[in-house]
Amino acid sequence: MMGFGAWCRKRLFPDALNGVVSLAVLAVLAFLLYALCRWALFSAQWQVITQNIRFLMAGSLPSPDIWRAWTAGAIFMFMTGLSLGKLLPIRRIPLLLGGLLLLALAIAAMTVIGQPQWALVLALAAAANTGWLCAAHPRSTSTLLGTAWVVTTIVMWNILIPGESKAVGGLLLGLLITMVAVIFSFPVGVALALGRTSRLPGIRLTCVCYIELIRSLPLISILYWAWMVVPLILPGDVRISDLVRGAVGFTLFYAAYVAEYVRGGLQGVPRDQVNAAKSLGLNTFSSMYHIVLPQALRSVLPALVGNVLDIFNNVPLLFIIGLTEFVRAGQVLLSNPQHSGQMYEVYVFMFAVYLAMATLLSWSSRVVEARLGYH
């Protein structure tokens, strides 16, 4: 380990040119940071966010139904806590219990002083904390976690979308569509990948056609067509909500991408594994299901987590079929002349929210990768 001075000399000032570059970058960075802080603390008017936070988070969900948003949020935070607890090796029960106690006290205090919305926000944190605590239980396995996410998705869908007229929007809609797309595109994608690596040319050709066609088209067109075609192929009196059509579009589109990731994993499994399975007397299905697929999926898990981030980042394209997702909600906010002066506040807020989400996801992807590396 070299000292700070030596490190500076080597990595910042090895020669005159590098020294100038370092100093210039430092100066620009310092100025930008200073300007941003000054703006954010003194001249930005954050009321535009605080006053419209409900619209940004839950869209135009009517007031009496707002409990749906809070319930779904709490369930989501619980699951996030559970997953983080599985990923992170920190499982100090007393610490977590202490945190939960502290949060409970804070919730009580907020309720007493008449700030129910802060009490609810703290309740979300408490839900995450409880989830983390549950992850410490020895019976919470990865299989259980996966099943729990599937159940959560179905439950959240039913809570958030009671009827077409009072469906949710905003960030919660984005999360919901992401979860649906991730969960449903996975089995379809695995099936397509198996089909594409099959030795039966008929099946292979069908899967290749589907995957290559979908992958060469933009997502926005698939969404638009899924939205347009679905009512045409149904009998006249059956109506399907825009949300379902959007979710179908996302699932069909990302299934092709999942298929390509999984195919990469399948090709990475050594042939000897198949031979060994065959010599043990396993048939094609069993050797695939018990030997090849687990290894393939394990090796592409980081890529699949990256795919989740990709889906989440593309959910704003739902604007094309008229759904008010987070980014669209921000645009609607800005189209109000009353808020047109607070453009930068809204954009900075949206960028910050997306960055926070993405950082969490890409960090967990890295943790998954590192853990797989040890085994």
> Contact positions toward other proteins, by CB under 8 A?
11-12, 14, 18, 21-22, 25-26, 29, 195, 197, 199-206, 213, 216-221, 224-225, 228-229, 231-234, 236, 271, 274-275, 278, 284, 309, 313-317, 319-320, 327, 330-331, 334, 343-344, 347, 350-351, 354-355, 358-359, 362
Least CB distance from residue 43 to other proteins, whole Å?
A: 16
59 or 195: CB nearest other proteins: 195
Residue among 213, 191, 195, 212 nearest 204 (CA): 195
**C-beta separation of 10 from 2 below 8 A:** yes
Q: What is the CA radius of gyration of the chain?
A: 25
158 or 284: CB nearest other proteins: 284
Q: Which two tokens mark 59?
A: 């869209």
Residue among 181, 187, 313, 305 nearest 254 (CA): 181
158 or 275: CB nearest other proteins: 275
Least CB distance from residue 278 to other proteins, whole Å?
A: 6
Matching residue, tokens 């869209």 = 59
Least CB distance from residue 215 to other proteins, whole Å?
A: 8
**C-beta separation of 226 from 241 below 8 A:** no
Residue among 297, 212, 308 nearest 261 (CA): 297
Least CB distance from residue 81 to other proteins, whole Å?
A: 22
26 or 40: CB nearest other proteins: 26
Least CB distance from residue 131 to other proteins, whole Å?
A: 24
Q: Which residues contact 172 (CB under 8 A, 6 or more apart)?
A: 57, 58, 59, 69, 72, 73, 160
For residue 134, count CB atoms less than 10 angstroms from its CB and return exposed for 0-12, middle for 13-18, buried for 19 or more.
middle
Least CB distance from residue 277 to other proteins, whole Å?
A: 9
3-class secondary-structure state, position 325: strand
169 or 330: CB nearest other proteins: 330
190 or 219: CB nearest other proteins: 219
86 or 328: CB nearest other proteins: 328
Instruction: Identify any residues that bridge with 325 across adjacent strands, giving them in sequence order.
Output: 170
Least CB distance from residue 285 to other proteins, whole Å?
A: 12
